[in-house]
Each structure stands twice: as structure tokens, then as C-alpha cells.
Amino acid sequence: MEKMLAFVVMFSLCFLPLIHGGRKIPTRTQDDSEEWGYVEVRPKAHMFWWLYKSPYRVEDPSKPWPIVLWLQGGPGASGVGIGNFEEVGPLDTNLKARNSTWLQKADLLFVDNPVGTGYSFVEDRKLFVKNDVEAGDDLTTLLEKLFNGNEKLQKSPLFIVAESYGGKFAVTLALSALKAIEAGKLKLKLGGVALGDSWISPEDFVFSWGPLLKDVSRLDDNGLKLSESLSEKIKQQIQQGQYEEATDSWSSLEGVISSNSNGVDFYNFLLDSGMDIVSSSTALELSKEIATKRYSRYLGVLRSTPGGDDDLGDLMNGAIKKKLRIIPENVTWGGQSDGVFVALQGDFMRPRIDEVDQLLAKGVNVTIYNGQLDLICATKGTEAWVKKLKWEGLQTFLSKDRTPLYCGKAGPTKGFISSYKNFHFYWILGAGHFVPVDQPCVALDMLSHITNSPR
């Protein structure tokens, strides 16, 4: 805890110069515990990154200290903002030390991805990525700029940890990075990929919503019938490659679910969303706007404190932007996020199961973790797409018994794990979409296992 308090104190100290020869360069805290900057991943497309070096780092040549690259979902949700200040970073939104920060197990690299998300920006909106593969290529370019000239970073294995739609970016990035590593273009050691409540197979998730909500009494038979009808329509559209139309139908289905459940929270089906119910006739753009705002709304309920400043936008466009100093004046945190979502509507409903299969075949460690109470990426849907894998070890994995998880040596069951070879699945009890927030202790233990870091 003393290390964390010192970390917080350094937040307000002076920073190294940010201008060199009229050019913006990465800047850092005086003690080198933090570093951040922009990478121009394509002409006029600027991606922001922020690296935290752990005060808990253990120097052990036999177990190199890991780096976790955190990828947020949305698409268009900010890892630098949400993942950092609301989930796993060193400070919360009140700039208080987080006891459950993932810095206890690894260095943390947050990226606002794709370009246009968070502090990242494009000078021409035509430069937004149109699919997950393009996003993976941009992230690979960023990693090349960060790792190729830094031998210290190259010694640490990189673990890509993703949440929600970030899982689709994670698998396309991992394949792109492996290709660059094999070609000698990227000097990096990939430690593994972790997919947290990830939108890998949209078809399987939309089919899980109705039956799950019916089982927990949130939908009646009429609501279930409407849900299943729209799910079948989405399945047909995906099979025919009509991905934009499938995104429209997804929007309608969310409206049907909301209206027939009286506003169930898509990130925790035990809760109400606290948002206006969306009818099935609501415009797609409004549905997307609501979807991108659900992250902060749900997390705000969890972390709300009396008298505290819980508005992440105010924090990011105020104190944090002032601290970082390199964010252009005309860039507002999250100001282009709506454009990111709309640009990806043709890829939003495309599955990425095949990419997971490719990673497993290449021997990459793949971990899946899912919160019991999540709806949007329900465990029921995750289990369904896992059974579609063509990986040679699948049947053996499915036949194995699960091992219970605890927080510490005693106490109630916190979840289960099953593993076979390079594939691992965590069922996290009592957690919704945001596992590190709902179950921080078991999430830290899980991270130790994923990264092979000290427990």
C-alpha cells in the first residue's frame, strides 16, 4: 500500500519536456513510472497510449515481469479512460489509490483504440477503421513504434487482455502481431490473449438473451417469442453476409429486450439499466449512442461515492488532459467515438471464432473469462461459440471437470476454471460484464495465472 501511496503522490509532480525540435515526443513522469504519447499509425490517424510501470515489479530472469495491453470494447469505448480509471488502473475516478489495481501483477499499457476513441483522433473521418482487421493492423503499427526501439520492453512478455468488443480487436491484433514478429518487423514476445466477456460471436449472444432472461423471470413467453424471432432474422442475415442489416436488427432486438424486460441492464441482468427504454422502432443511431454510454452508466452505479466526482468525461477533459499536456486543444476525450461505432457497423456482427482457432493452432495461450451475471456477452453465448471451435483439443477440454476458485484459502466459491493445453476458461460468479470491478480479488488471482506473475 505504501508503494501505491507514493504512486499517487507522483501524479502531481512535474513532467519531462514534451517538445523536442518542434516535434511532440512521448512524455513521462519524473520517476519514469508513467509514459504516454501518440503514434501516427497512418497519415493523419493518431493513436494515444499510456504505459504504467508497476511499483510491485519483481526482477526475476526466470519469470520476466509481464506487460498487459488492455483493450476496451464499444467499439469506441476508451481504455485510457474506462479500463484505466474505472477498472484496473492505479487510480479511481476520484484519483484515489485502487487497492485492486492490476499493477500488482503487471505493467499496464492502455490504448485508445480504434483511432477516434478517447484521446485518439483522425484528421479526416474517412480514416476511421471499417473492420476489426484494420484495427488490428493499426495496433500492430503502434506496438512496432513502442517495442522495436526499447530493449527493456522487449524482455517483457505482452499479454493482450480485452473486454467486450475489444475481444474482436484482440484476436485480429494477435494474428497481425504474430505475422509481423515472424517477418522480423516487430520485436515482441506475445505471452497470450485473454478474452473477457468478449463479443466474439454476435449470433450466439443474441440467441442467448431471450432464454436466459426467461429463465430468470425477466421476460415472459411473449417477450421470448419476439426475441427468438429477431434472433433468427439476425442469424439469416449473418449467414448471407448482410452484416449492416444484422446490426440494424441487433438494434431492434435490444429495443425489444429493453421494452419487454422493463429496462434490464445488459451488463448485469439482476439490475435495471436506469436508462430510457428503447423501442424497436428507435433509430439505429440513437441505439448506438445508448450502447456506447452503457459502460460508464453501469460502472458509475458501482463506484458512486457521496460527494465524489464520478463524471469520467469531466475528469478526462479536465484534470487528466491537463496532466498529459500533449492532447491537442481541439481534441475532446471521446469526441469521435460515435463515428468509430458507425464506421464499424459493417463488421459489428461478424464473428471472429476462426481467429481464435488460428491462435490456438499456433500454440498461443488463449484465456476466456466470463461474468455470471452478464447479459450482452452472456456465458451461455460464450459456451455456445466455444463449442464451434475446430481446435483439436476441444473435446478433451469439454470432458474435463472444473476446478472451483476462491479468494484466498477459504470462503465462498468465487468461480470455476477448466484448462487443457493452451486453452483456459474462467466462470466468474457474482460478476457482470465488468469482472475486475465486480470481483476484483478473483480477477487478480486470474491475472496471476494468465501472466505467470507472483501471487
Q: What is the DSSP letter of 64?
A: P
Residue 42 dihedral angles phi and psi, to the nearest 5°: -145, 160
Is the link from the previous residue into 436 a cis peptide, with omega within 30 of 0? no
Of the CA atoms within 13 Å of residue 256, those in its CB half-sphere come to 22
- Find the Cα–Cα–Cα–Cα dihedral 82, 85, 86, 87, rounded to 10°: 90
Q: What is the DSSP letter of 397?
A: H
pLDDT of the residue at 279: 44
Closest by CA to 357, choosing from 393, 325, 323, is: 393
Each residue's pLDDT expressed in tens, for the chain with a length of 455 residues: 545 544 444 444 444 444 333 335 568 788 889 999 999 999 999 999 999 999 998 877 778 899 999 999 989 999 999 999 999 999 999 999 999 999 999 999 999 999 999 999 999 999 999 999 999 999 999 999 999 999 989 999 999 999 999 999 999 999 999 999 999 999 999 999 999 999 999 999 999 999 999 999 999 999 999 999 999 999 999 999 999 999 999 989 999 999 999 999 999 999 998 765 444 444 445 444 545 455 545 455 444 443 333 489 999 999 999 999 999 999 999 888 888 988 999 999 999 999 999 999 999 999 999 999 999 999 999 999 999 999 999 999 999 999 999 997 778 999 999 999 999 999 999 999 999 999 999 999 999 999 987 65
Strands 121-122 and 45-52, how do they pair? antiparallel
- What's the chain's length in residues? 455
pLDDT of the residue at 334: 87
Residue 254: helix, strand or coil by DSSP?
helix
pLDDT of the residue at 26: 61
Rounded alpha-carbon distances, angstroms, from residue 269 to 123, 163, 265, 272, 435: 39, 18, 5, 8, 14
Domains, the chain, ordered by start: 2-201+348-451 (3.40.50.1820), 202-306 (no CATH)
Q: What is the DSSP letter of 278?
A: P
pLDDT of the residue at 304: 40
Grid cell at residue 351 = 464473428
Handedness of CA 387, 391, 395, 398 (dihedral sign): negative
Residue 62: helix, strand or coil by DSSP?
coil
- The strand ranges marked E within 67-116 are 67-71, 107-111
pLDDT of the residue at 250: 93
pTM summary value: 0.90
Grid cell at residue 294 = 452503457
Give the C-alpha separation, 121 to 223, whole Å. Answer: 41
Catalytic residues: 164, 374, 433
Strands 190-196 and 158-163, how do they pair? parallel
Residue 108: helix, strand or coil by DSSP?
strand
Grid cell at residue 342 = 458507425
pLDDT of the residue at 410: 72
Q: What is the DSSP letter of 96?
A: P
